[in-house]
Amino acid sequence: MTTRPPTGSRSARDLERYAALFSTRTKVMKSSAMRDLMAVIARDDIISLAGGAPDMTVFPAEVMAKVMSQLAAEQSARALQYGPTEGLEDVKEAIIEVMAAEGTIGVDPQDILVTTGGQQVIDLFCRTLIDPGDVIIAEAPTYPGAVPCFGAYEADVVQVEMDSDGMRIDELEAVLDQLARENRRPKFIYTVPTFHNPAGVTMSLPRRKRLVEVAAERELLVLEDNPYGLLRYEGDPLPTLYSLDGGQFVVYLGTFSKIFAAGVRLGWAVAPGPVYHKLNIGKQAADLCSSPLSQLFVSTYFRTGEWPQLLSAFKERYHRRRDVMLDALAEFFGPEAVWTHPQGGLFLWATLPDFIDTTDLLARALEENVAFVPGRGAYLDGRGGSSMRLNFSYVSDEDIREGVRRIGAIVHEQVALYGTLTGTVVPSSPVADERPAPGGPDQALADVLHLPRRAGDGRRAGSSE
């Protein structure tokens, strides 16, 4: 019928015409640094240490074919039809199996809400709880993908420092006390306790226990975001906050993205009844239900019983790549940086001398065809300017080494330039930190990693688990 106007006329479609219509949240809505990088890192000639994607070449193509044909033969009609908002029982069985493997036994299927990725849980949780100006407590740094979500709901996010044992609960309590004096009750505490994204650290057992106590004492909800819990390469597993709390104040967030496949876009929440009910209503409005095609693909796969082998394959590969990255950092970043030593997960967090801005550095790195996530994307208050998140799950061992080498070369160049311009000798301990470390730095690890003696501020090297 009618054709679209030629492209020329679209210059008239300027922002001004629509700007008055946007909601307040829209005006403050910012794009996630990570997602904006997606277009760039999709280029074949870029070594991307910026993503958070699993390496799906681990997944055997013949298994995919087998599961697809079984799904088509057995579940075709259900896969193509709407499902209930809360999710299909089939996939809830797989979720219960995954949570049992994490040590959480006896999850009630009625408490499980199947969602469109773990991201949707964060969104629905904010939707359920946050009015503009409400306080969310998060870690410093926090998951970069949560930042635009918190922004969209106009939350006031207070970020609590971490060290190598995860969120500092003493500081959390001080923050809560301060808020109480201001008559402000935070709506929830958002945490990635295990193999933190982006910091790469893990919350210790004593802190886990204390966090759960604090939540119960103050009747505060905790959103435990646990995408990587099963991807442990060393050390002993720790109980989830959810299992310590018994599902009273901790809402659990899980996802199939990192232990199975990101492309199915399936995650889940486990929440107490009243919260569950509100999340469910929110999900109705958001997307009615998550794809039954995806759900039945997952449940068909999990019924093959092969997922522990897949998990082992992921772990083996990422363990090796973590080691490759740690070795490369020691070789190429040298004394100019500190970084964390993750015992699992996909990321580590590196911090450069504070005269280096990693957002600027990224522009320079992209010229050398390598990418990372600048640290500022993990803060809502402009901090993180000299840090970066590095991913070791997605690219090959060779590319990890080469990528770190290129970034290291740029860092050395910047450090030398700074020295020339200022006439100073750059110290080997790059970041000044006034606060003494609680318990001091982990010298054993620091020695292995050629790390300077420093700690605190969420940038401390080494993990003490």
| Contacts of its own copies in 3-32 (CB under 8 A) | 3-5, 7, 9-10, 13-15, 17-26, 29-32
Which of 110, 428 has the CB closer to its own copies? 110
Could you say whether residue 116 binds its own copies (CB under 8 A)? Answer: yes
CA distance 318 to 55: 9
Element (H, E) at 349: strand 347-351
Residue 95 near residue 112, CB atoms below 8 Å: yes
Q: Which residues ranging from 294 to 333 are in contact with its own copies (CB under 8 A)?
A: 294, 297
- The phi, psi pair for 448, rounded to 5°, reads -55, -40
Could you say whether residue 292 binds its own copies (CB under 8 A)? Answer: yes
Could you say whether residue 38 binds its own copies (CB under 8 A)? Answer: yes
Could you say whether residue 391 binds its own copies (CB under 8 A)? Answer: no
Rg from Cα positions in the chain: 23
- Kindly determine how many residues on this chain lie close enough to bind its own copies according to the rule CB under 8 A: 114
Could you say whether residue 42 binds its own copies (CB under 8 A)? Answer: yes
379: nearest Cα among 123, 191, 138: 138
How many other C-beta atoms are found inside a 10 Å radius of the C-beta of residue 269?
25
Q: How far is the CB of 40 from its own copies (least distance, A)?
A: 11
Which of 78, 315 has the CB closer to its own copies? 78
CA distance 163 to 239: 19
* Dihedral sign of CA atoms 36, 38, 41, 44 in order: negative
Residue 377 near residue 384, CB atoms below 8 Å: yes
Which of 366, 437 has the CB closer to its own copies? 366
Name the one range near its own copies by CB under 8 A: 104-112, 170-178, 333-341, 346-354: 104-112
Q: Determine which residue in the list 40, 101, 179, 286 makes contact with its own copies, applying CB under 8 A.
A: 286
Could you say whether residue 263 binds its own copies (CB under 8 A)? Answer: yes
Which of 4, 181 has the CB closer to its own copies? 4
Q: How far is the CB of 182 from its own copies (least distance, A)?
A: 17
Q: Determine which residue in the list 85, 164, 386, 464 makes contact with its own copies, applying CB under 8 A.
A: 85
Could you say whether residue 54 binds its own copies (CB under 8 A)? Answer: yes
The amino acid at residue 361 is: L
Q: What is the DSSP letter of 300?
A: H
Q: How far is the CB of 414 from its own copies (least distance, A)?
A: 30
Q: Determine which residue in the list 50, 87, 119, 338 makes contact with its own copies, applying CB under 8 A.
A: 119
For residue 71, CA distances in Å to 60, 85, 96 come to 17, 21, 21
Q: How far is the CB of 277 from its own copies (least distance, A)?
A: 8
Could you say whether residue 290 binds its own copies (CB under 8 A)? Answer: yes
Could you say whether residue 265 binds its own copies (CB under 8 A)? Answer: yes
Name the one range near its own copies by CB under 8 A: 90-98, 292-300, 355-363, 434-442: 292-300
Q: Determine which residue in the list 8, 43, 45, 84 makes contact with its own copies, applying CB under 8 A.
A: 84
Q: What is the DSSP letter of 386?
A: T
Q: Which residues contact residue 448 at a Cβ distance below 8 angstroms, ignoring those fewer than 6 apart? A: none
Name the one range near its own copies by CB under 8 A: 142-150, 302-310, 409-417, 421-429: 142-150
Could you say whether residue 261 binds its own copies (CB under 8 A)? Answer: yes
Could you say whether residue 179 binds its own copies (CB under 8 A)? Answer: no
Q: Determine which residue in the list 246, 308, 419, 439 makes contact with its own copies, applying CB under 8 A.
A: 246
Q: Which residues contact residue 26 at a Cβ distance below 8 angstroms, ignoring those fewer than 6 apart? A: none
**Which two tokens mark 224?**
């435990």
Residue 52 near residue 346, CB atoms below 8 Å: yes
Which of 302, 333 has the CB closer to its own copies? 302
Q: What is the DSSP letter of 198?
A: T
Q: Determine which residue in the list 202, 243, 340, 393 makes contact with its own copies, applying CB under 8 A.
A: 243
Which of 76, 422 has the CB closer to its own copies? 76
Name the one range near its own copies by CB under 8 A: 174-182, 241-249, 302-310, 368-376: 241-249
Half-sphere exposure at residue 115, Cβ-oriented, CA atoms within 13 angstroms = 30
Q: Determine which residue in the list 135, 152, 215, 348 makes contact with its own copies, applying CB under 8 A.
A: 152
Q: Which residues contact residue 40 at a Cβ distance below 8 angstroms, ignoring those fewer than 6 apart? A: 46, 48, 366, 371
Q: Determine which residue in the list 136, 158, 162, 264 makes contact with its own copies, applying CB under 8 A.
A: 264
Could you say whether residue 248 binds its own copies (CB under 8 A)? Answer: yes
Residue 172 near residue 161, CB atoms below 8 Å: no
444 alpha-carbon distance from chain centroid? 28
Q: Determine which residue in the list 48, 128, 351, 358 makes contact with its own copies, applying CB under 8 A.
A: 128
CA distance 227 to 321: 18
Residue 193 near residue 210, CB atoms below 8 Å: no
Instruction: Please state whether beta strands 250-255 and 221-225 pair in parallel, antiparallel, or not at all (unpaired).
Output: parallel
Could you say whether residue 107 binds its own copies (CB under 8 A)? Answer: yes
